[in-house]
Structure 1
């Protein structure tokens, strides 16, 4: 095999691996969309409501407070739409607005225990299935997969 043939083979192998990964990302995105559809119906809310709850759960895990302005930026909706969203989620018993811990002029949005338990009641089975799916992989493989998913999220979410 000539050096040119080896280079072409390597490029083709790389292209095949990238294409396989892009297909896997697409398939994951489809599965995630279906899961979100099931969650939104299970909790009787729209996709933006569910995205707001997911944001609150993610930030809560990191110990980061969420203001209405943070929510507007994350969801890419207007402040008026955010107010309506928070009014709706509050009326349904999913969130509360509380004083900001360090800025008396601001509010933060927090999940209620009801919303947290409802979300995890519906999501818990899927979370357990994902953990089980990860079991055969080594720690290094899981860290590599996390890097790939983080890079993919960064490439998709450019704003």
Structure 2
């Protein structure tokens, strides 16, 4: 089946990224017994569509980081602050550390950098004078919303074009796939003796 990514790049490998390993019967990756070749072709095209979505998200994320001159982690922190403000929630450094899955020391460095560049401000917590609350600055919030946020929001139109039953099917599929690739039970992911990729050179 023809793949849009291959059309755009002229790369014949792209259209088969998720066809390799998908064959009727069993393979070293999965058991597709009872699945027809026609169904496998459809599944491969679906997987390639997901890959194209991830690539589009990656390019958007990269463009947004360049525009805002921030790291991916910085952008995730600011997005969290925007959502919290919209919901009327107070954000503490500890909440941000938990969301980003980083240490308290790394969170302090991140906040110092964002505050230095006028992306956030820290205030004394209104209910706990020993703690701080974090807010995104109006200028950074406006910039993020008018560029990255507006582009990300266009996902809504794709979902709105579906029928109610189609949206339910897509939601069920994405939830099911998320559960299938979850790291729960993946011993290799938590194995401290497993070989690790070498860190990039400075």
TM-score (norm 2): 0.60
Residue deviations 1:86-108 (CA, integer Å, cap 9, x gap): 11111222111123343332212
Alignment match, 1:118: 143
Instruction: Tell me the distance in 2 between the aligned counterparts of 1:62 and 1:147.
Output: 27
Q: Aligned-pair distance for 1:49? A: 0.7
Instruction: Tell me the distance in 1 between the aligned counterparts of 2:172 and 2:45.
Output: 17
The question of 1:58 aligning with 2:83 is answered: yes
Alignment match, 1:78: 103
Tell me which structure has the larger Cα radius of gyration.
2
Q: CA 1:87/1:144 → structure 2, altered by over 3 Å: closer, same or farther?
A: farther
Higher helix share goes to which structure? 1
Query: Which ranges in structure 2 are unaligned for 5 or more consecutive residues?
Result: 1-32, 185-202
Instruction: Tell me the distance in 2 between the aligned counterparts of 1:149 and 1:102.
Output: 40
Q: CA 1:62/1:156 → structure 2, altered by over 3 Å: closer, same or farther?
A: farther
Q: Aligned-pair distance for 1:110? A: 1.4
Q: CA 1:124/1:67 → structure 2, altered by over 3 Å: closer, same or farther?
A: closer
- The one of 140, 145, 154 equivalent to 1:129 is 154
Q: Aligned-pair distance for 1:16? A: 6.3
- The one of 42, 64, 68 equivalent to 1:39 is 64
Q: Identify the range of structure 1 (125-134 vs 51-60) with the bigger mean alpha-carbon deviation.
A: 125-134
Q: Aligned-pair distance for 1:74? A: 1.7
Q: Identify the range of structure 1 (75-84 vs 122-131) with the bigger mean alpha-carbon deviation.
A: 122-131
- The one of 117, 139, 142 equivalent to 1:92 is 117
Classify the secondary structure of the residue corresponding to 1:98: strand
Residue deviations 1:53-75 (CA, integer Å, cap 9, x gap): 12222333343322111211221
Residue deviations 1:84-133 (CA, integer Å, cap 9, x gap): 11111112221111233433322121111111101012124413532332
Query: Which ranges in structure 1 are unaligned for 5 or more consecutive residues?
Result: 1-7
Q: May I ask how many residue pairs the two structures share in their alignment?
A: 151
Alignment match, 1:142: 167
